Chain A
Amino acid sequence: MNFEPLTLDRETDLLRKEVRAFLSDQRDFLKGGYIDCWSICEPAFSRLLGEKGWIGMTLPKQYGGGGRTYLERYVVVEELLAAGAPVGAHWVADRQTGPLLLSFGTEEQKEFFLPQIVRGECYFAIGMSEPDSGSDLAAIRTRAERVEGGWRITGGKTWTSFAMTCRYVLLLCRTAPPGSEAADRHKGMSQFILDLESEGVTRRPIRNLAGEDHFCEIFLEQVFVPENRLLGEEGNGWRQVMAELAFERSGPERFLSNFRLFSEGLDFLRTSGKGEIGARTIGRLAAQLMNLRQMSLSVAGQLQAGELPVNEASIVKELGTTFEQNLAEALRGPLAIEPGVDAGERMSSLLGKSILTAPSFSLRGGTREILRGILAKGLGLR
């Protein structure tokens, strides 16, 4: 295991400048300067990014993609996150569903979905967790049964982010006959592309503690999914989901969720005469942030080289989300202001929002304990 430092070439520099210039013209979309901005859906903004060619950048040109590298995508994404841009709508489709469709999808699926994803018009949700299956993902019960012309799915998913805004969800289901999972729980699962507007689907938002409605419950009753919406091979679901998670765990969103608190907090300290009190805290956080970026870039380089750096991705996610969770904890002392929820009081609301969203950082995408377990195995603990 290693995190080799990586050099970005000149071309990414030009791309970065282009993104910055674009963002400086998007005052309306950016005035929120959001905390946890990849949980904020703005389809109009997503379509704008699509026009610029900044969604599905790594997908091949034949499907409308940019044919660019993971490092180029990295540069675009980190610029968007640092600005607090509302990138939630297309986030999952861009980060993981696109690459997954490319690896496992049929030609028809690629031709149908990828161009829409790239345009910023087609949004996907992640359909893994269920009420009785969180960390223990292999315990899912939602079941798909073969019927004429396709499958019939019954069960339900929960905590599905953006299920109200997304047209599709990539659903992990059991496809092996009931009872057979006793032999090997990881076998007999498959992934389906489910149109959330299908008959038999009910969706309901779940309000979170910060008062937002971004995650949802999905109820599935005898929902018909045509044959051509099975993704990959029947029974290969577990392997596909694991590939998906490597994309999900190492990106800059794992440490930049609340970057606005850091950058604006630094200015607040400086301009309110608290620079001296805060310097040590700022320095320590800056060092961690610089390093997380290097580690995450290094993983992007490994993904680009076609590797599947599962352990490295787990490390980035664990250290990154710990950093995000610690940000408000570390800054609240030197800032010495009351955290609030009123957008009018900028610093107070950045702090308040960071505190309220922090618990989710180390849960979504696999909990801290699960990541440590993966890593322990990767280290050779038997």
Chain B
Amino acid sequence: MNEMTSIIEESVNDLFAEEVTPESIETMESGGFPEPLWSTFDGGGWTRIALSEEDGGAGTGLSGGYTLMRIAGYHAAPLPVVEAILGTYLLSASGLPIPEGLLTVALADQSPPGENNGRLLLPRVPWARHARGVVVVLPGRNGSTGVAWVDRDSYQVQEHRNLAGEPRDDVLVSSRKPAEEKLIHATSTEQVRSWFALGRAAQIAGAAQKALERTIAYANERRQFGRPIGKFQAIQHQIAVQAEQLYAARCAADTAIAHLGTPQEWECIAAAKILSGEAVGIVAGTAHAVHGAIGFTKEFALQLDTRRLWSWREEYGNEDHWSRRLGEFCLALGEDRLWTFLTAQTG
């Protein structure tokens, strides 16, 4: 890990450890906006982390952003960090102005956005109700990516939530098409979509680590039959498997981050989303099994991690989606080129 990354890691960790409170999370879950957390986060300039240093970024490119997302996942931070950071990055890359305030993103690349009486419908946009506006990603000319800004004034929302209570709103734009669209050349919408998937994989790595830490701590502390339950081999082995899954998911996310900008970027991201998705069932399941009834309560914080894990594994493509895509890619390579592909990573 380079120096800049450790500085980011440390500062963001301090920030979230201090500012992510049960109240801030409760505010989000009851439909409100955690203003104090947001203003500290925004005030620190963290939404610009992936930009160049001249533009107020950390100079690490996207990778610093992903470090932040993992730590946000660890703390269950009630903010759309993935959308805010990548949305800012997309605006900057396309040359559009970056407005003040919270922004979010809608990927409208795969199927034409649904239309509703001549109005554009963007389904399940994170935090759209609280945002200053939405960065809409569309297919551009010649395989490039189109980026457009839709201001909060020109859309209405129908409020929805994911399993973790995070806002996922349907957005109804007042026009058929966003007004101004700028292109990011040499970047496909497929690639942009994968960056968001990697964001969720990074968040999953963070939240899964927290779930594992809680599980180990609880197993060492909770006593039954006169000893800590962590002394029972059945419990130890379950937790060992849980840890294996977390470390696999974390390694896959870190590998994908290390391969940003290389020819294997997309494939490594696909692997990261698959492995993080696979890890979720085991990590969350074991965490709850070991915690017993207390872990099933709203009061006990474990649910903050597990409800996020169950939501995030579905978003931006679940492991079945990415497996099919990666499988098609490997099948097209055939036996001869498969091994060359597998060994092309890290050199």
Contacts and interface: CB of A to CB of B under 8 A. Distances in A.
A9 B347 CA distance: 6
Contacts of A10: 347
Given A16-B343, A376-B236, A376-B239, A286 B330 contact: yes
Contacts of B335: 263-264, 266-267
B324 A3 contact: no
Nearest to A380: B216
Name which of B231, B257, B324 has the most chain A CB atoms within 10 A of its CB. B324
Interface in A261-320: 263-264, 266-267, 269-270, 275, 278-284, 286-291, 293-295, 297-298, 315, 318-319
Given A267-B335, A293-B342, A372-B241, A287 B250 contact: no
B254 A376 contact: no
A269 B274 CA distance: 21
A5 B256 CA distance: 9
A379 B331 contact: no
A7 B237 CA distance: 32
Contact of A266 (B254, B338, B346): B338
Residue among A1, A4, A283 having the largest count of chain B Cβ atoms under 10 Å? A283
B178 to A, nearest CB: 34
B327 A281 contact: yes
Contacts of B228: 382
B342 to A, nearest CB: 6
B244 A375 contact: yes
A22 B2 CA distance: 37
Contact of A319 (B235, B248, B338): B248
Contacts of A369: 237
Contacts of A266: 330-331, 334-335, 338
Contacts of B342: 286, 289-290, 293
The 3 closest A-B pairs by CB, nearest first: A283-B327, A8-B347, A279-B327
5 contacts: A270-B331, A284-B327, A295-B248, A318-B244, A375-B240
Interface of B: 1, 216, 219-220, 228, 230-231, 233, 235-237, 239-241, 243-244, 247-248, 250-252, 254-255, 257-258, 267-268, 270-271, 274-275, 278, 319-320, 322-332, 334-335, 338-339, 342-343, 345-347
Given A3-B254, A263-B339, A287-B322, 12 more contacts: A8-B346, A9-B347, A270-B332, A279-B331, A280-B323, A282-B326, A283-B324, A283-B327, A290-B268, A315-B247, A379-B239, A381-B235
